[in-house]
Amino acid sequence: MNHESLQTESYSPTTHESNVRQTISVNCQQLHTAVPIDHLAKWLLACISHLSPASPAPPEILQALLPEGTNPALFDPALQRLLQLGLITATANHSARLHPLVAEYVLEWTRDLGAQTAVEEILITLTSEGNNQRSLEPARHWQPHLFYVTTTALPREDARAAQLCLVLGQHLWLSSDYFNGARYYLETAVAIQEKVVGPEHLHTAVCLEWLGRTYISCQEFEHGRTCFERALSIHQQQLSPQDVQLAATHNHLGILLFTMGELEPAHAHLARAHHIYLHTLGSTHADTGFNHHCLGLNFLLQGKYELAESHSSQAMHIAQQIYGLMHSDTARAANALGLIHQRQEKLESARQLFQYAYTTRLQLLGEGQSETLTSLNNLGSVYRELGDLAQAANHLHAAAAKWEAVFGPESGYVALALNNLGLVYRDLGDYAASQSYLERALHNRRHTYGERHFYTADTLHNLGTLAQAQENFALAQECYGRAWRIRLQIFGPDHPLVQQSQQAVTALDGRA
């Protein structure tokens, strides 16, 4: 604003003094704070100046910024007053836009009003409400402002800057923006909280837990484990044994462990969380429902399909009662129940559950989100088992391409679709294509999970089926044997998948 191009002292034939600062100042000074409408208009102007100048300020944000005790009927007249003075412009949806030069002046003029604190706190509150409901849509309206306000606050490295990073990181995690979004802001939140309140504080533990979730989504499991174990240690030292925060940490550590193939330790953490949730929140709470979902997945991996179905059915019932059908939690539970029905060979039921989960996630989250692609992959998998290989291939190619665009070609997510594509092309008799997809899947799974993981064993077993179809019995028996040894170590001798690999090895005795 002080640039010479915005000011001139040269002769003006119209006798108009061309000075932008003075022009804006004259308009601002028309607001007389003794008048209630003008008083509110100045406050709203101050608040808007702390939001992103590149995006209109949504009315729901401005209304939430009304000071306590303000008559809501003054809101529209106050905005109209700012419009009349030319200090803001209005958009079609009643949002308010402030020119950057006006914002620069207003920031200086209203510095002592506390508007920056109010804006930061209301964005934290409103975004937290959406995050807690796993609802993305409201925050999308003000996401540019959340980015802008957080970026502005970061140099302070104070508690409120950490809180802004936390809620923005949570929102981005829910949006499946893991690598460049959630990870950065949650790592920053942890670093600031460690500096402000210390590494053993409960606020630090909350940030660690969300960072752990993000590391799981990025498939960086050891980093996730470190975060959850630190958070659990803090919670165990500072919270009561029945605290729901402690339960949440047990629950997420359980998710991490069963993803890594450590099923018994995972069950211990999930069972502990289940006890706390039932005792503290009751049997119909959303957190209890999510714990049922996690227990169901762990029992699925253990091959205990009836227990898995029981827990997943309860998770879906609770989510449906609380949120209805058009919600991501209900879709998540349906997707898990579909996996169980697929393993139980209830294929049409599995297809319907996957279709519902995919349609719901597509509408709520978008086509490129990881949860949406998971349901698309599962739908392709069950179409293969139903014999519709064309549909299966279409779904799986789409999932693989979109996962690869987001996570890169060596991702474990991509391997899910590649593994299933290998089975589709085996069933089509295109053994060369099948070999290519399965070998890529095996490479990705070794890269992501390691050699001794159930996903790696699954692809080894599938390579065995391909070799057997080509009558390469020696290679088939080798693949089956390697899959059997991994599965036996993880699951124990009574697991259905262990028995599947063992029977495959035995069937080839004398032919290899």
Give the residues across from 90 on adjacent strands: 96
Question: Residue 2: which pLDDT band, with cuts at 50, 70 and 90?
Answer: low
Residues 191 and 204 in one domain: yes
Q: List CB contacts of 507: < 8 A, sequence separation 6 or more.
A: none
Contact (Cβ atoms closer than 8 angstroms) between residue 315 and residue 289? yes
Residue 342, domain CATH: 1.25.40.10
Three-state secondary structure call for residue 219: coil
Structural tokens at position 454? 């159930």
Block residue for tokens 């879709």: 331
Question: What is the number of alpha carbons within 13 Å of residue 306 lying toward its C-beta?
Answer: 0
Structural tokens at position 110? 């209203």
Name which of 22-26, 27-31, 98-102, 507-511 the model is least confident about.
507-511
Residues 77 and 121 in one domain: no
- Residue 420 to residue 412: CA distance in whole angstroms: 13
Last residue of a domain, one of 113, 144, 170: 113
Contact (Cβ atoms closer than 8 angstroms) between residue 281 and residue 263? no
Residues 107 and 161 in one domain: no
Between the alpha carbon of residue 291 and those of residues 135, 286, 317, 368, 491, the distances in Å are 19, 9, 13, 26, 22
Give the residue-averaged pLDDT of 84-103: 88
Q: What is the CA radius of gyration of the chain?
A: 28
Q: How many domains does the chain contain in total?
A: 4
Q: Residue 15: is its pLDDT beyond 80?
A: no
Question: Residue 22: which pLDDT band, with cuts at 50, 70 and 90?
Answer: confident
Block residue for tokens 């102007």: 45
Phi-psi region of 472 (alpha: psi -120 to 50; beta: other; left: phi over 0): beta
Quick one: what percent of the chain has pLDDT higher than 90? Answer: 85
Block residue for tokens 């993000």: 214
Q: Residue 10: is its pLDDT beyond 80?
A: no
Domain of 60?
4-113
Residues 48 and 29 in one domain: yes
Residues 229 and 133 in one domain: yes
Average pLDDT, the chain: 93
Last residue of a domain, one of 302, 336, 365: 365
Structural tokens at position 280? 């503290």
Residues 169 and 193 in one domain: yes
- Residue 109 to residue 236: CA distance in whole angstroms: 49
Residue 455, domain CATH: 1.25.40
Q: Evaluate whether residue 260 is within a structural domain.
A: yes
Q: Evaluate whether residue 411 is within a structural domain.
A: no
* pLDDT tens-place string over residues 25-60: 999 999 998 999 999 999 999 999 999 999 999 999
* pLDDT tens-place string over residues 320-346: 999 999 999 999 999 999 999 999 999
- Residue 254 to residue 248: CA distance in whole angstroms: 10
Block residue for tokens 């964005």: 123
Residues 70 and 11 in one domain: yes
Residues 130 and 33 in one domain: no
Contact (Cβ atoms closer than 8 angstroms) between residue 484 and residue 501? yes
Residues 84 and 133 in one domain: no
Residues 9 and 96 in one domain: yes
**Residue 108: which H helix or E strand, with range?**
helix 100-109
Q: Evaluate whether residue 476 is within a structural domain.
A: yes
Residues 262 and 281 in one domain: yes
Give the residue-averaged pLDDT of 146-158: 97
Q: Evaluate whether residue 433 is within a structural domain.
A: no
pLDDT for 17: 47
Q: Evaluate whether residue 472 is within a structural domain.
A: yes
Question: Residue 94: which pLDDT band, with cuts at 50, 70 and 90?
Answer: confident
Q: Evaluate whether residue 375 is within a structural domain.
A: no
pLDDT for 347: 98
Q: Evaluate whether residue 271 is within a structural domain.
A: yes
pLDDT for 18: 53
Q: Evaluate whether residue 475 is within a structural domain.
A: yes
- Residue 108 to residue 453: CA distance in whole angstroms: 59
Give the residue-averaged pLDDT of 372-401: 98
Q: Residue 14: is its pLDDT beyond 50?
A: no
Last residue of a domain, one of 238, 267, 284: 238
More confident residue, 110 or 249: 249
Residues 65 and 119 in one domain: no
